[in-house]
Amino acid sequence: MMPLLSVKDLHVGFGRDPKANEVVKGVSFDLAAGETLAIVGESGSGKSVTALSINRLVDFGGGRITSGAITLQRGDGTVLDVTKADESALVRVRGSDIGMIFQEPMTSLNPVHTVGAQIEEAFKLNRGLTGSAATRAAKEALERVRIPDAAQRLKYYPHQLSGGMRQRVMIAMVIASNPRLLIADEPTTALDVTVQAQIMALLAELRNELGMSMVFITHDIGLVAGIADQIMVMQNGVAVEQGALNAVLDNPQHDYTRHLLKAVPHFNGGRAVRSDGSRAAGAAPVVTVDNLVVRFPAAKGLFARAAGAVHAVDGVSFDLVPGETLAIVGESGSGKSTTARAILGLVSTTRGRIDRASGRSPRPVQMVFQDPFASLNPRLNVESLLAEPAIAAGQRRDAKLRERMTFLLTRVGLPEDALVRYPHQFSGGQRQRLCIARALMLNPEVVVLDEAVSALDVSVQARVLDLLIDLQREFGLAYLFISHDMAVVERIAHRIAVMYAGQLVEIGDAASVLSDPQHSYTKRLIAAVPAIERRKQVFTVDATQVPSLVRPKGYEPPPPQWREAGPDHRVRLETA
Listed residue (460, 397, 487, 390) closest to 43, CA to CA = 460
Contact 102, 124 (CB under 8 A): no
Whether 194 contacts 525, CB under 8 Å? yes
Q: What is the pLDDT of residue 190?
A: 61
% the chain with pLDDT above 70? 93
Q: pLDDT-based confidence at 262, cuts 50/70/90?
A: confident
Kindly report, residue by residue over 540-551, the tens digit of the pLDDT.
Answer: 656 566 677 888
Q: Is the pLDDT of residue 304 over 60?
A: no
3-state secondary structure of 568: coil
Q: What contacts 87, CB < 8 A, 6 or more positions away?
A: none
Cα–Cα distance between 186 and 32 in angstroms, integer?
21
| Whether the predicted pLDDT of 40 surpasses 60 | yes
Write the Ramachandran bin of 218: left for phi over 0, alpha for psi from -120 to 50, otherwise beta. beta
pTM of the model: 0.77
DSSP 117-137: HHHHHHHHHHH---HHHHHHH
Give the whole-angstrom CA distance, residue 358 versus residue 440. 16
Average pLDDT over residues 241-255: 94
The count of residues in the chain is 576
Rg (CA), the chain: 24
Nearest to 98 by CA among 53, 143, 148, 164: 53
Residue 115 confidence class, pLDDT cut points 50, 70, 90 = very high
User: Mean pLDDT score of the chain, rounded to an integer?
Assistant: 87
Find out whether 490 and 267 touch, Cβ atoms under 8 Å. yes
Q: What is the pLDDT of residues 142-172, one digit of tens each?
A: 887 778 789 999 999 998 887 778 888 888 8
Stretch 551-569: mean pLDDT: 90
Give dist(CA 90, CA 172) in Å, integer.
22
Domain boundaries, the chain: 108-177
Question: What's the DSSP call for residue 440?
Answer: T
In terms of C-beta density within 10 A (0-12 exposed, 13-18 middle, 19 or more buried), how is residue 153 classed? buried
Task: Give the tens place of pLDDT for each residue, 356-412.
Answer: 876 666 678 899 887 787 889 999 999 999 999 999 988 999 999 999 999 989 888
pLDDT score of 1 more than 80: no
Give tens-digit pLDDT for 64-110: 999 999 999 988 889 999 999 999 999 989 888 899 988 777 778 99
- Give whole-number Cα distances, 575 to 33, 106, 505, in Å: 47, 37, 12
Residue partners of 310: CB distance under 8 A and separation at least 6: 295, 296, 297, 298, 549, 550, 551
Q: Which pLDDT tens digit goes with each residue over 403-458?
A: 999 998 988 888 888 999 999 998 777 888 899 899 989 888 999 998 888 767 77
3-state helix, strand, coil in the chain (%, to 5): 35, 25, 40
Q: In this predicted structure, what is the pLDDT of residue 277?
A: 65
* Spacing of C-alpha 173 from chain mean position: 18
State residue 265's pLDDT score: 77
Q: Which of 173-177, 245-249, 297-301 has the lowest mean pLDDT?
A: 297-301
pLDDT band at 306 (very low <50, low <70, confident <90, very high): low
Residue 486 confidence (pLDDT):
86
Phi and psi at residue 480, to the nearest 5°: -105, 105
For the stretch 469-518, pLDDT in tens is 988 988 888 999 998 788 899 999 999 999 998 999 999 999 999 999 99
Asked if residues 507 and 476 have their Cβ atoms less than 8 Å apart, the reply is no
Question: d(Cα 54, Cα 51) in Å, to the nearest integer?
Answer: 5
pLDDT at 49: 93
448 close to 435: Cβ distance less than 8 angstroms: no
Q: Worst-scoring range by mean pLDDT, 299-303, 369-373, 375-379, 532-536?
A: 299-303
Q: How many CB atoms lie within 10 A of CB 140?
A: 14
Is residue 464 predicted with pLDDT exceeding 70?
A: yes
Predicted pLDDT at 90? 92
Q: Residue 23's closest CA among 35, 38, 10, 8?
A: 10
What region, left, alpha or beta, does residue 243 occupy, with left being phi > 0 and alpha being psi -120 to 50 degrees? Answer: left
Using 50, 70 and 90 to split pLDDT, how confident is the model at 138? very high
Give dist(CA 482, CA 484) in Å, integer: 7
Burial code (b: 16+ CB inside 10 Å, e: under 16) for 311-350 equals bbbbbbebbbbbbbbbbbbbbbbbbbbbbbbbbbeebebb
Mean pLDDT of 332-352: 90
Q: Pairing between strand 495-500 and 325-330?
A: parallel
- Cβ pair 268, 74 in contact under 8 A: no
Region 323-336: what's the mean pLDDT? 89
The string of pLDDT tens digits covering residues 178-198 is 888 999 988 876 677 777 777
Cβ atoms of 96 and 75 closer than 8 Å: yes
CA pair distance 434, 377, nearest whole angstrom: 12
Strand partners, 353: 290
